[in-house]
Amino acid sequence: MAAEVVLQVALLILTLAIFFAIHKLSKQALTKLRTNNRATLQATRHFVLGSQLLTRARSTPHKTKSHSHAKSALTEAEKALSLSPRDPGPHILKALALDLLGHRNSALRSLDAALSPPCVKSLADRERGEALVKRAELKLALNRRRRVDSAVEDLVEAVGLSSGEGSTTAFCLLGQCYERKGMRDEAREAFERALTMDSGSVLARQGLDRLRLNQSPSP
């Protein structure tokens, strides 16, 4: 009889211990979830504010004001990244702000981060396509021959993901890449593809005009 009482007491103590352990773990999990949610909300606020500042920086004709807004956008992007480092949005925002400030190498590194795991998994196809086009544009702007092939890879992938204006820009940049590589037929085809998507594309028409002007005379 005494043994049964001892066993029941032991089971009661064990049950209470399990209950309190579960309660403690649940409370910790809930606290962590609330903390994560707060961090996500704060990161979103910084990202939205930074995006608004970047829009102002791009729209103002005054260089001083533009740079001031771009620097503020960069600050907001970095705050968002400190709270949500795996979110590709702040990386892209940071890249765009850095590009506007003339820091192209740093902008390229930020886009590399956005287009690398684990960040890239959060990007929709259209968003990834736009980021690839921007990265290719930066690679070409740096004017380094070794980056042209890498830009072509980005653009070929981008045209399969984007549509409309994004594809037009991608084909125009692709034409410029082929033009630099001396691949005239491929360049012409890319510029013509851009025109089929947007008949008013100035970049595409300029590209075709360059090809015609630089065409070697027939023997």
Domain 128-219 adopts which CATH fold?
1.25.40
Tokens of 49: 């504010």
Q: What angle do CA 182, 166, 163 make, to 5 degrees?
A: 110
pLDDT, tens digit (0-9, with 9 covering 90-100), for 113-144: 999 999 999 999 989 999 999 999 999 998 77
pLDDT in tens, the chain (219 residues): 555 655 565 555 656 555 555 555 555 554 544 555 677 889 999 999 999 999 999 999 999 999 999 999 999 999 999 999 999 999 999 999 999 999 999 999 999 999 999 999 999 998 999 999 999 999 999 877 778 999 999 999 999 887 655 689 999 999 999 999 999 999 999 999 999 999 999 999 999 999 998 875 444
Tokens of 85: 């480092």
Tokens of 31: 């606290």
Name the residue ranges covered by the structural domains of the chain. 58-123, 128-219
Measured CA to CA in angstroms, residue 91 lies from 79, 154, 198 at distances of 11, 18, 30
Q: What angle do CA 56, 60, 64 make, to 5 degrees?
A: 100
